Structures are given as structure tokens and as C-alpha cells.
Structure 1
Amino acid sequence: MQRNNQLMLARTYFAVQGVGGLLWWFAVFVSPTVTMLTLGDLPPLLLAWFDIPLFALASLLIACNIRAALWVAIPWTWLMTGLMLVYALISTNAGWGALIMLAASFASGAAGLVLWFGRFPSQWFASGPFRFRTARSKRTRAHIRQTFAQLLCFWFVFLALFPSLIIFAEHRFAVHVSFADWVRLTGYVLLLLASALGVWSATIMAKLGQGTPLPSAMPQYLVVRGPYRYVRNPMAVAGIVQGVSVGLIANSWLIILYSLSGSIIWNLIVRPLEERDLEEKFGESFTRYCAEVSCWLPKFRHTSKRG
């Protein structure tokens, strides 16, 4: 059933993409504003000759289950995305067009994988260096050091480096908006609270679980104390709120979107793999824990201390 649902969703996406592409080209030819926002000074008629058949019509063929069209629509989408990104960064025009094509590249790539393999190959995210492995060391201090090193790396990459690049692109694409002062103040408060939750969760995992958040050194024991008594993924919750908080502080709606998109990807792809591994490792204890504690929204009631 899940396989069929994924296939149906993928074909539906390409149908929407095909129809959306045709409607967008109609809007380009009737609205100078749409043309300027999405194409800038690029020649619309010349691009239409290529984009309509290679993007819109090819997407509709994919929706009709003609898989060969994947080798037309997806490469063309990626090529146009690259060209639009370069053009928008250099000219500061057509920023909205670049963002739309960037979203289409990720979505069409994911949908294309589903149609080609019959389902999304989520197992790729749990192989090689990302394969789930239990930590071997019994030294609590070592786990704490590794955990906080990972935490600092996460903060630098996902809360500083990537957001900095997004802010730069947001201004170059001319899609920046400003938030009210109280929104930025809210961001600071949320960032402080979420960071405290992340540190608390990481410390509990290292001490009681005898492991780290990374798949390469996962906890040796099932931890259901501290924040794990109320929600199964407190570190994920903390990371999402931190990302949104950085977006509020930086006046960046794109950072907020980036954070929420990352949470959706983690929830749909990584979390099921992680929970499957935990169920195999801890058996009924983890199954009972999942029944008692929700994934995202806290349940304020007592659970067993350790399975």
C-alpha cells in the first residue's frame, strides 16, 4: 500500500508540475510583472520553445506513466535551475524564478526516484558512513565529548554556515523581507530555549544512553528520562526550533522555509529508518515507549525509566 501511495504521489506531482509549467508560461506572456520577477531580462519566447516541451509536456508524460520522459524532464529541470541560479546571483533579477526552479529540482528528483525504483530509496540514508551502529565505548566522558563536538558542528553548519549562504542568496535574488522588531525578539527567546533543550537532550543521551546522536555511535541503552519522557525526538524538536529562530532573528523567510523543509525530510525519511533500527535493537521496550510517548508533541505523563 505504501509503495502504491508513493507511486501515485510521484505521478501526481509531475501532473501538477506539468500543468503549473503551462500556466506559468501563460502568465509570463500576459503579465510583464510575472516576466520580470521570474525571468528578468531573459528572452521568454526563446526559452518557451525549449521549456514547454522539455519541462511541462515531459512532466505530463511522466504523469501518464511514461518513465522514459524522466530522462528529459529531470535533466532539463536541473540544467535550467543551474542557469537560473547563476543568472539571478549575477544580475539580481529573476530571483523568484530561480527559487521556483530550485524547488522543482529537488521535488522532481525525489519523485523521479520513486517512479524509477518503485519507491523512494530511503535505505541510501542508512548505508555506508550513515549506517546505524551502536557505540562501543563504555566511557561516559568520551560520549559527552563526542556528543558536544557533534552538537557544535551541527550548530555551525546548519545554524550559521547554511543560513549565511541563504541570507546572501536572499538579498541577491531580491526576495528579502523585513520582520517586525517583536518577531526578532521572539526569535532570540526561542533560540535560547531550543538550545537549552538541545544541550539537555544531548547530555541525557550521552550519560544514560552511553552513545551519541550520530548513527555511527548510537546509544547502547534506550533512554526515556529527561526530555525523552515527554517527546521521542527532543533533539530534532530543538534543531527545528533553532533553525526557525535563526530565520526570525535574521529577517529571513527562506531560512524558516529551509528549517521546516529539513524537518519534513527528516520526519519522512530518516526517522522511520532510525525507529526501525531502535525497534530491532530494543524490541518490545521501544514499541511500548512509542505507544506512550509521541514523536513531536509532548505527553506529560510518566513512562518507564529504561527499556
Structure 2
Amino acid sequence: MARPAASARAWIGTVFFLFLAPGVVAGLVPWTISGWRRHDWGESWIVEPIALVAIAVGVAFLLYAFALFAIHRGTPAPVAPTETLVVTGVYRFVRNPMYLAVLAIILGQALLFANWWVAFYAALVFLAVFTFVKGYEEPTLTDRYGGQYLDYRRHVPGWWPRFTPWRGEEGAQ
């Protein structure tokens, strides 16, 4: 009977963290910077659909990656990690899909609003996230999951997605 309660806690924690972290980083802060005032691209109208696609794809991947954490009975928040290493779905292609999705959302907004401050903010977010991944996340995952994480890390890139999904040992070459 503990499993349904753990699953419910995982979903509640995941949704809470979604609004707390990416909601602030990719929503509230860009809104504060830009006021979400759209730019009239005029004859360069193609920029707007590109921006909207970047935002939509970023949101879709972010929601999917977050759901995988709840499915694995944990959250993306460091204080409530999953019971198992998440290496399914988008995590078979790239180790940091949530961070890449957040960056796509922010950069899409920078384009949509033609706002260099939002683009500069995206660069700051990338530097902060990269530093967090290297200084905290990778050592913590190595401590928690050991060889399983090291094998995963060896086969799945952190920032530039693979073309084919990693399938664990049977797919390793």
C-alpha cells in the first residue's frame, strides 16, 4: 500500500518543483525582463514561428522529462530523488533534457520578443546550469548510482543529443 502513496507524493512533488524551478527560470524571469511584449517582425515574419516552435518543443520536452521522474517514484528536485536512475525516454538521447528544454523556452522567448536581455539571461542560465551539473549533479549521481551512472554517462552525451537512443548494455558499442 506504500507504493500508491509514494507515487502520489512523487507526482505532487514533481508538479510543485515544475512550477518552482522551471516556472520561475523559464517563465517568471523572462516575463519580468521582457514584459512578454511581442515584437512585430514585419517582413521577417518567419522568426515568430521559429520562436513559437522552440517554446512549444521546449515545453513538451520539459513536461515529458518531468513526468519520467514521477513515473520513477521521485522528483527532479535534489531533495527528493528517484528510487532508480532515469535512463528512459528522452534520457536515452541526452542526459540533460530538462535544462536543454528550459534553454529552448528562454531562447524562444528572446526571439519572440526580440529581447537581447532575455538572450543574455539564457546565457547566464546556461552557465549556472552547467556549473551545477559539473559541480553537484554529476558527483551526486555517481555517488548514488555508481557504475550504472558512469556507464550511462559514458554512452549518453550531456548536452548534444545522440541520433539513436541508448539501450543500456545491449546497445553499447
Q: Is 1:166 aligned to residue 3 of structure 2?
A: no
**d(CA) in 2 for partners of 1:286 and 1:198?**
21
**d(CA) in 2 for partners of 1:163 and 1:235?**
17
1:1-307 superposed matches below 5 A: 139-167=6-34, 179=41, 180-208=44-72, 210-267=73-130, 269-272=131-134, 273-299=136-162, 300-304=164-168
Calculate the TM-score normalised by the size of structure 1: 0.48
CA contact 1:233–1:295 (8 Å) conserved in 2 = yes
Q: Work out the number of aligned pairs and report it.
A: 160
**d(CA) in 2 for partners of 1:199 and 1:230?**
16
Question: Would the alpha carbon gap of residues 160 and 201 (structure 1) be closer, same or farther in structure 2, given more than 3 Å must change?
Answer: closer
CA RMSD of aligned residues (A): 2.2
Question: Would the alpha carbon gap of residues 297 and 138 (structure 1) be closer, same or farther in structure 2, given more than 3 Å must change?
Answer: farther
Question: Would the alpha carbon gap of residues 160 and 224 (structure 1) be closer, same or farther in structure 2, given more than 3 Å must change?
Answer: closer
Point out the structure with the larger helix share. Answer: 1
CA contact 1:184–1:251 (8 Å) conserved in 2 = no
Which sections of structure 2, spanning at least 5 residues, go unmatched? Answer: none
Q: Which string of whole-angstrom CA distances, capped at 9 and with x for unpartnered residues, describes residues 126-182 of structure 1? A: xxxxxxxxxxx97112211211222123344223321233226xx9xxxxx875332
CA contact 2:156–2:166 (8 Å) conserved in 1 = no
Which sections of structure 1, spanning at least 5 residues, go unmatched? Answer: 1-136, 172-176
Deviation at 1:257, TM superposition (A): 1.7
Calculate the TM-score normalised by the size of structure 2: 0.83
Question: Would the alpha carbon gap of residues 293 and 240 (structure 1) be closer, same or farther in structure 2, given more than 3 Å must change?
Answer: same
Deviation at 1:236, TM superposition (A): 0.8
Q: Which string of whole-angstrom CA distances, capped at 9 and with x for unpartnered residues, describes residues 261-286 of structure 1? A: 2112211x200211101001111111
Higher RCO (C-alpha under 8 Å, 6+ residues apart): 2
Deviation at 1:189, TM superposition (A): 0.9
**d(CA) in 1 for partners of 2:58 and 2:159?**
14
